[in-house]
Structure 1
Amino acid sequence: MSLFKAREWWSTTLGDGDEFDQGCLCVGDVDNSGSGHDKIVVGSYMGLLRVFSPHPSQPGETLQPEEQLLEVQLRDPVIQVEVGKFVSCSDLLHLAVLHPRKLSVYAVAATAGNVEHGIQYQLRLVYEHNLQRIACNMAYGPFGGVTEKILGLKSLLFLDSGYATHGNFILLNDHRKVVDSKTKAKLIPEIAGLEIRNRYQTLAVATDADTRQESEQQKVGSGKRLVADWTLMIGEQALDICIPSFNHSASTIFVLGERNLYCLKDNGQILFMKKLEYNPSCFLPYASVSEGTTNSLVGNHNNMLLVYQDVTLKWAAQLSHVPVAIRVANFQDLKGVVVTLSSEGQLQCSYLGTDPALYQAPKVEARDINYEEMDSEMKELQKIIKETSKVQDILPKTDKEDDLTITPSISINMDTVSQAAISEIGGLTVPSITVKIKAKSRVTVLNPKLTVCVQPPLAVTREQFVLDSMGPGSSVLVVFSAFLNGEYPPADLGGDVAISYSTPTELNPAGVPRVAQCQFSLPLRLVSYPASPSKNANYKITIDTNKPPVNLSEIFPDFVEKSDEEHVNALGLQLIAGSRVTLLASKTSQRYRIQSEAFEDLWLVTKDLVRRFEKHFAKHGIRDYRCSFTGPIPLLEYFETVDRHFELRVNAEKYQDLLAERAVQFRAIQRRLLTRFKDKTPAPLQNLDTLMEGTYRQVIALADATEENRTALCQAFTRLRSATHLVILLIGLWQNLGKDQTAILESTLLPLLQDTPQLGWEESVDAAVSHLLRTCLSRSSKDQALNLTTSQLSMPKDTSRLKKHITLLCDRIGKGGRLSLSAESNAQTPIVMPGGCEPIPESDLEEGAADQESVATFPKQRHLTRKKGRQGMSEEMVVMLYESCHDTFLRTGTGKACPEELELVRHPKGTLLTNELQYKKNVVKFCRTDCFYHMGKKNNRRLLISHTFKGNRQLPFK
């Protein structure tokens, strides 16, 4: 901000709702009064033409009636106004007004009044020209060395004293053009940053365009072709261009760019340039008192008016508006007044004076300091800070009630007339179902837009809705249909609905952007039909419950006919775009078997079965219901799906490489053929045309194969997602994982909604699983010390490493590992092996893993005690260690510890405590350099431990 403000000499506001631009302001003695005082002429896009004769006034005073000489409402919008000698037989100044389709020249005449109202001003039309094309702006000057001013329009028409001499068609853009009075040349800044210079003789003798029709050749503006005298690339859009007329020694051209101010010679060479640190809006060069220099007034969008002498900043003043046009005028009491006009119509005459905006600090009350009140206030503030720091949630608290509530509802029955894009798949009719979304607003909601998203191959009839603004308490209902739109089963039957809207506030009436979301779930009946059960299947899984078996007709009433509702122990479901899935309920046990010919097709039915079980037992008030999975995790079947997906990814890369090679070959053959055809002495083609045709066919075949592989890859990824969802569900039922652990497992195995060539599913999952194995599922601190960070994720060569890591992940979860992302879980977490489970050998699964295994249990909250600077073990820790080891010895029956079931005992901080574990005469000896810890058995499980000592000796047990 400038220290000084522009001193206001006179100002007014031109109407309400008018729009103004660069060409709407000019100054001059338009009424030919002979006094030498300028008048201000302003035109607007609303067609109003005003003429003012300002007089000095005090700030805040209104416009005096005698200051506005003329106000005329014209029929067309005013694009530009200029004052000059535009009539050949007169030396008087006239006013040229440019309209979109017409150029008019007026005379402003003053008539002396005989009564009190004084002098009257009238606008008299001298001549006008109708334009064949829409005009953009105009320039005037002494073309061809004549004394009177000639007007030039863009697109280009030359008017010599009211007569059209010749016209040229040039590219229209919203830039100004000027005329050099010395070289009689016209300069036009192009939209791409080019300045094109044409001499008047060049324009006059320009040839007609060959493509013009004969009817247009007879017109004045026949569209003659122009040839530029010189061009200059300035690299930005030219906002304005000006050629000062006060410099008689040399002709210079000033160009205002978006970020630079240029000064050019008349041959196009850059004399100097000034880089601007702001966004300029207009400029005006004017005469300088120093010899060989030029001053420039530059206005910007920060309400600033800056004065430059060549490239040196001489003054900066603050304006009350953003100027779009600047002029310098001489009035009755003051010369060199700066006249500025804003786009809203604020017209101001000001001068550069020193009127600083000084800030005076308010007086502070002088009072005595009361230290007791300050201490009590400080205590209150510290109490508030302490209470605030205890709150862990740093996010702003949401309102108890949402501004916009979204409620989805799914129709019970399928649509009578299906809205699906594909009528049949595999001979089965594709149904559709109606989804209704009700949005109710609590406050005023502006510009709501609703978006629906479902995962392919599901689709909806319409994805986006533009809603009307809603008032408080109003609601709106949106209806659409969902259906299957692919020949493969979906991995998820859920959908998301989001509404983006704005809520107005006092500070922001336009509205604060907000988003409301909700989810809905489509029924299984949308993608399947009832079918007869099948006895044989390749893939089978068994789900156990702790409640008596339930009739399947109660669980799946929409898939069972009324005649078969009594006792249904077998149920068949035929997926529309998949295989047949069979549900079998055991009559004697509490087990349910799901079987199918495709492993991934088990997912949707298994998920729906578990969900319906929970809903069924909750409906009957049974709270202790539990569903479990006891069988082994079907990793081999799951890895088959992984291999199919990875194989398609490898094929995609091969196709891309082959396609790139054939494309290079095709371009090389094209270049050789082109060289042969351009040769003046043609040589034989040597079968290059045949080779080109064969290469072209290969390129087309590879492109088709790439597209087919891409479609197959999309389907394979959806099947992979279904299989992954099934494995996650089985692991959760197997180990009874909570919601938090299940969410971590889903984020690990399903990090992407869609894989891309740059980032695929295999490398993403491998990195996530490796991170869990080194943090919350780590076996020792050695695993945590390994650095797994890589520079970037890349596609692996094969899936062997990924399979090993996923197998190891399931193994460690099966041993009792806990999935957690908290900081505490990154420390060593002990692994508990259930007594009835056979340990899975990890030496063949993990790369670089230790050979020893552990069966000991170390609670994380337990710590080793310290005595006399030595590291010792608490009595409870030793008792638990001994009992665990003793159980191991009894289970092996050898009286010795098996290496596969022992692990080095470590301190929580990672310090090694023991390196050997021996069993002899019911005494376990822990050796650590010169310290020995002895313990013995008493009463089968009780133990008494002595204090820590030095030396190789044994203490008796009491």
Structure 2
Amino acid sequence: MSLFRVVDWVSHLIPNASAIVTSPFFEDREQLVVGCEDGQISVIDAGDKQYQSSILFTYQSDHPVLQMETGEFLPSMRNILAVLSPSKLDFYKLNFEKTDESSVSFEKLFSHAMSISAWNMCKVLTETSLQLIVQTIDCKISLFQGDQCVFEHCALRALHPGPILYSSPSSSLITANNGFLNSVKFSLLSSGSQKRINYDWFFNLGDTALQLEVFESNQPSILVLCRRHVTCLSTGGSIQWQIRFEAVATAMCVYTSYVINDPLNIRFIVATSDDNLLIYNEQKLVWNCHAHMTPVALKVSSYNKIYENVLTMLSADGKLLIGYLGTQPNLYKVPTDTKIVNFAEKMEQLKGLEKKIKENESSGGGGLGKKDGIGLSLTFGEKGKRTIEHNARNNVPYCTLQLEFANLGDITKLHINIMSELETPSKQIVLNVPANPSVVKSIKMPLDTLFGEAPVDRNAKFKLTIDTDAPVVPLNQLFKEFESENPQAIGFLVHGCDAANVSIFAASKSNRYRVQSEHVGLLEVAFDELISRIQSAVENVQIGANIPFEYISEIVEFIQEAEKTKSVEQTTIDSRMKEVRAIEALSLNNCKSGNLDTVSCLDALFEKSYRELLEHMDRYTERKLGIEANYANLASLFQLASEISKISRVETIINGNFYRNTQQSLRDRLMWSARNEKGTEIRLIEKLCEHSNKELPKIREEDEEGDEASAATN
């Protein structure tokens, strides 16, 4: 529940209200103009009439109001009101007396007749004048400059009209029609050419656009509000970010904060159909509150110097509300009556409870069981599509983990360690109780909290083929939590890591699956998940795969070469450190003895040696990080070899934790595990994974590559 709520400052019920606009008609404060479907136009001065009816003037026109805009449409005449109706575009001037601002009158300046019913309009700000573009119901646009019509009936390439917007940074007209966002140069429209209009760029929104806004800064952006998401694009059509909503959006307002001087961030408010206001700073949800209505129009205005940046909302039923976000503490709550406590009765209840506690302890039911020890159970809780944590990547889902303890007894202090890895399974939760043995629990996170759907990559370097004796199961049935409709190919991408993707293919002709990735550590993750789902979908299925010794050999050779280079760098670093210390000692001795003739030479020598020392230290750190990363990949391949051996009913000592928590080298560890065997590291690994022939035929990927690719394509 949100702490803030919309506090009602001024509210009106105006039936058939359809449009609102704000502008400083009087002095330095803004006024609100409300247009209705029955042609009524009302002027509201909320900053001067806080506790009374703030409607200054009501004008009855002959046509329904679709949209209103204000600006200097004529030279030397500021804040002219442009009112768009289906058949006319009228321009009004609001006259008022400075001695009595409540005396307001409308003066109709001029109008333009529309031969085709109008739909909407937008302002075009040029260097010399302010113009209006009007879009008709048949997707034709007309340009008006004051009382002149520059051009009309310029047809857009669309079937249904939608929101339009003029982008000053790119001098282009932005249109949203048929689920697409389009951009066309304004100079092409104003040229009067009858040729077919070609868009500079277009973007598939995948939803119905409701509103367009432009944010002008050093990096101008275009905001598109759709029913289920808001998308931010550059003026060149490149997507910057996107936010998806749980409810249908109804209105949006981009505003500027006068308190926080941050001109680069886009601040905007989105109203949703579940009566909520979502306040964003770029992609970050700053706050949300309940609006007690479903706004279809939203403005941020300053009606006087006290109430600045207040919200103006209009609902579909004509309710107009001007308010602000605030709390409503209950300062006048009547205190409850003081109850008289019977202390004698309470003492008897306390004695009874103490007696029950002693009886329970004597029977052995209240303390920590010596045999059972402490208990820990892990269960998954709520899963969400998008986290709002400030330090998380965009659009990353979340999944809560519930911990339940048992047999705690008199334990008052617990140490909980959480370890999580993606490449290999690990002991996820370690509960360490002082003076008691540790309790270890493992849990496998849901796949959709680790991965998101991504395009498949058939050219990935690392691949693993899986053979079965049953027809392949469509991948869109195996992975139902994803929205893929392709039964023979699916791709996954680790949330927050653009380079970590893995693809799975199914070949129905050969009853085989293939896992492919540019990240060798993801082969085990995808293999384990795929095997478990196949075994759940098909009973008594026989599965086989070849252990990827070539990948293991490649990583082992890289580690060996990197270890040699690291040793050489370590020797060089030791030599350079001795050299630097010797130069420092010589410089100090010369300074003490007063011999300053060689100081400049020693400084140059010291600078050269120190620079070389830093370079070798950087290379040493780079080698060390590379070795650690490849050891993690090797552990993942060891776990993959263990799982492949397991489905072949062969037990092996090699697994993901084979080389961890040991001070031995990889060769010493392998020789200790293989006992009396000798040979290279890869030979020892093959010996540890050695097993009898499988029941399934041995897989040769070079012979089956074309079959699998054609089957996956079909």
**Range class of TM-score, shorter chain:** 0.3 to 0.5
Relative contact order higher in (CA < 8 Å, ≥ 6 apart): 2
TM-score (norm 1): 0.33
Task: Answer with 1 or 2: which has the greater Rg.
Answer: 1
TM-score (norm 2): 0.44
